[in-house]
Amino acid sequence: MPELLLVEAVNDALHVEMERDDSVLVMGEDVGTLGGVFRATSGLQERFGPDRCVDTPLAEAGILGTAVGLCMAGWRPVCEMQYDAFSYPALDQLINHVGRYRWRTRGKMSFPLTIRMPYGGGVRAPELHDDSPETYYVHAPGVKVAIPSTPADAKGLLAAAIRDPDPVVVLEPKLHYRTLKEEVPEGEHVIPLGKARVAREGSDLTIVAYGAMVHVALSAAEALSGDASCEVLDLRSLKPLDEDGLLASVAKTGRVVVVQEAPRVCGFAAEVAAVLAEKAIFDLQGPVIRVTGYDVPYPYWQLEDAYMPSVARVVDAARRVLAS
Amino acid sequence: MSRVLPAEADLRRIIGDGETIPDGEVDGLGADELRALYRDMVLLRTYDERSVVYHRQGRIGTYAIFWNHEAMQAGSVLALESRDWIFPGYRESAIGLLRGMPVSTVLSWWRGHPAGWWNPQEFNVASICVPIATQVPHAVGFAWGSRLKGEDRVALALFGDGATSEGAFHEGATFAGVMKAPVILFCNNNQWAISTPLAKQTAAPTLADKAIGYGIPGVRVDGCDVLAVYEATRDAVERARAGDGPTFIEAVSYRAAPHATADDPSVYIDPERVEDERENECVGRYERYLLRMGALTQSLAEEIKQEALDLMRAGIAEAEAEPAGDVSLVFDHAYADPPPSQAHDLAELRRILGDA
């Protein structure tokens, strides 16, 4: 198996899926000639032509809105939003149409579109290149959300998203586009949505995380290894959520810390905590503690390390749960 | 009601080429004003060129270059009174320098340091908008609101060619027309949105033609001719002050540098075209004009450039001397009246960082 960077694995998935299904069409700002500002779509226009790897005007609502129409015309669009915080003009289309249209047609029409975008902080970027917007997307009925943490998952989850009959948002941790290199299966590689991954086995505490925070969780588990055996559960997909995987881990450990980079209020960690309150209350031996970004605007980058959930903060939370 | 006509296809131009195209003049600009305008352009140019160097030296972060945009920025701002407001995008990050903003403030923003902020009311320069075209409706609302309050001040919104594809531009321009807002919608058409050329951005023959759909006059100027930019903006400001509403100005130039320090244009741009544009860049064009007109000497030009360099040296030193921001700045000012959880968050963070 070739070793690929996370961004190369995204690129590989796009090549494989476009080869496999000639209705798959990639569109977005700078995705064609340039191959995307992160080079995630590099080589697609040369291989598949400008009609299947389309440089669009600078208009995110237009990208997603025309993708709805492209679905109706029989295409399977994969829309790139250039950055997390620049995807928001598309929310009107996403909430009002993308997630509702199947329902409006009583399932007669499918909207198998994919939205993929780099997300998250820690990259010393200028203002508004750092957001973790998963809550906005996961909150929209009819829309699925996946967030890979590794190159192999970046390929497999994107392939699943493209093949899914429903709209799927895939958030790619830009911090790790070029920091992680690992073996990625060649050719077709699909990781079903809704199946979490045990990134590290343990028996005393479960750290639930997704995306870039999986690596923070793994470092925290390692830091705690002299004192406690920590399991790290990588959710991979927020909707559908692998409740069975989550509940199985918690039944084993009884203690939970949930880590997310996004601000705390109504973030996905709150959803995880709510599921545990509803379905695992008798397994829990302590409070479910969230470690999250703060409920303030993402700071300028010289202060971003103080904002982002750190290994120290996860360790601190874990010790509090373990002491309870 | 007067009828809004399609924009002229030709670009308004005042500065000649020293050969076949004769130099023109702008009424009301004496030698002192002409030299002050040169000083502004040199300041912006020096800021931009030094910033690219500072980035390479690791002293600032990723930086959006505005080389060859100085005429559009300095020319349009010169047409304003100090009470008028400027609404910049990221390509105009240093436009506050023209209003006396310290160099270190702008550098701090690019350094990701919390000192990189300003009070818009101090300079009448709004905060930089990083998403595309989002400042357009802000400027329109400000102009509209000022008119409602009976205050004589206009707003200048600066944005690029790519921005005219965004919904925020369309909606802002729609409001501007309907509300007869005293606003100038100033489009710096450098013909590229990162790698996307204008031909892929719009099928309209000119961007100024878009204005007709909003009931707004559209004019086109040579964006590398600072005097043409100034004159067109001055006309627009006069219309706005007279209660005749907004004007759309399409200033046509060429992005003769990368989009930002993280961009590699060799993948998508014709290097020969870039070379041609660099030879005809806006600061040199104006400098040669002033020399021909006798309003500037080589030695004064050198002096002005040296002054700008000195200002930059002092500015970067000042920015680098800023002490590291306290973590409380992560939390401060997000709310006038913060939720109680915030104090707890800060206390917990301090405990974990060991600086309680």
Question: What pLDDT digit, counting tens, does each position of B208-262 carry?
Answer: 999 999 999 999 999 999 999 999 999 999 999 999 999 999 999 999 999 999 9
The mean per-residue pLDDT over the stretch A187-216 comes to: 98
Residue A233 in tokens: 């559960």
Cβ proximity of A10 and A38 under 8 Å: no
Cβ proximity of B11 and B219 under 8 Å: no
* pLDDT tens string B296-320: 999 999 999 999 999 999 999 999 9
pLDDT, position B223: 98
Identify which of B292, B289, B272 has the alpha carbon closest to the alpha carbon of residue B224: B289
Which candidate in B111, B220, B259, B285 is catalytic? B259
C-alpha distance from residue B11 to each of A77, B211, B232 (Å): 40, 16, 11
Secondary structure E strands in B141-257: 155-160, 183-189, 192-193, 196-197, 218-222, 247-252
Q: Is A311 on the interface with B (CB under 8 A)?
A: no
> What's the pLDDT band for B51 if we cut at 50, 70, 90?
very high
- CB–CB contact A294 B331 (8 Å): yes
Using a CB-CB cut-off of 8 Å, the residues of chain A touching B136 are: none
Identify which of A266, A249, A269 has the alpha carbon closest to the alpha carbon of residue A198: A249
C-alpha distance from residue B166 to each of A62, A63, A86, A235, B190 (Å): 8, 11, 11, 35, 16
Active site residue B147: no
* pLDDT tens string B110-149: 999 999 999 999 999 999 999 999 999 999 999 999 999 9
As beta bridge partners, residue A4 has A182
> What's the pLDDT band for B2 if we cut at 50, 70, 90?
low
CA distance A149 to A42: 21
Q: Chain A: residue nearest B339 by CA?
A: A295
Q: Chain B: residue nearest A65 by CA?
A: B167
pLDDT at B1 over 50: no
Q: Is A126 on the interface with B (CB under 8 A)?
A: yes
Identify which of B348, B333, B325 has the alpha carbon closest to the alpha carbon of residue A304: B325
CA distance A134 to A124: 21
CA distance A58 to A45: 18
CA distance B58 to B257: 19
CA distance B156 to B222: 18
> What's the pLDDT band for B22 if we cut at 50, 70, 90?
very high
Q: Mutation test of the interface with chain A: which of B51, B164, B166, B171, choosing the one with the most A Cβ atoms within 10 A?
A: B166
* pLDDT tens string A103-117: 999 999 999 999 999
CA distance A298 to A128: 8
Question: Given A294, A296, A303, which is nearest B114 (Cβ)?
Answer: A303
User: Looking at the annotation, which residues of A are catalytic?
Assistant: 129
Q: How far is A113 from chain B (nearest CA, A)?
A: 22
Question: Given B116, B195, B334, which is nearest A300 (Cβ)?
Answer: B116
- CB–CB contact A304 B167 (8 Å): no
pLDDT at A245 over 70: yes
CA distance B223 to B282: 8
pLDDT at A145 over 50: yes
> What's the pLDDT band for B10 if we cut at 50, 70, 90?
confident
pLDDT, position B356: 56
Cβ proximity of B109 and B117 under 8 Å: yes
Q: What is the pTM of this model?
A: 0.95
Q: How many CA atoms lie within 13 A of A265 on its CB side?
A: 7
Cβ proximity of A167 and A111 under 8 Å: yes
> What's the pLDDT band for A192 if we cut at 50, 70, 90?
very high
Active site residue B170: no
pLDDT, position B9: 79
Region of A257 on the Ramachandran plot (φ > 0 left; ψ -120 to 50 alpha; else beta): beta
Whole-complex ipTM = 0.92
Three-state secondary structure call for residue B160: strand
What is the residue-averaged pLDDT of chain B? Answer: 96
The mean per-residue pLDDT over the stretch B40-69 comes to: 98
Secondary structure E strands in chain A: 3-5, 24-28, 53-55, 76-80, 114-119, 144-146, 168-173, 181-183, 197-200, 205-209, 230-234, 237-239, 256-263, 289-293
What is the Cα Rg of chain B in Å? Answer: 21
- CB–CB contact A85 B131 (8 Å): yes
C-alpha distance from residue A138 to each of A105, A182, A292, B144 (Å): 22, 28, 17, 37
C-alpha distance from residue A10 to each of A16, A57, A149, A314 (Å): 10, 23, 12, 29
Residue A65 in tokens: 């809105």
Q: Chain B: residue nearest A298 by CA?
A: B330
Cβ proximity of B185 and B246 under 8 Å: yes
Residue whose tokens read 């470092």: A219
> What's the pLDDT band for B76 if we cut at 50, 70, 90?
very high
Identify which of B78, B94, B41, B48 has the alpha carbon closest to the alpha carbon of residue B256: B48
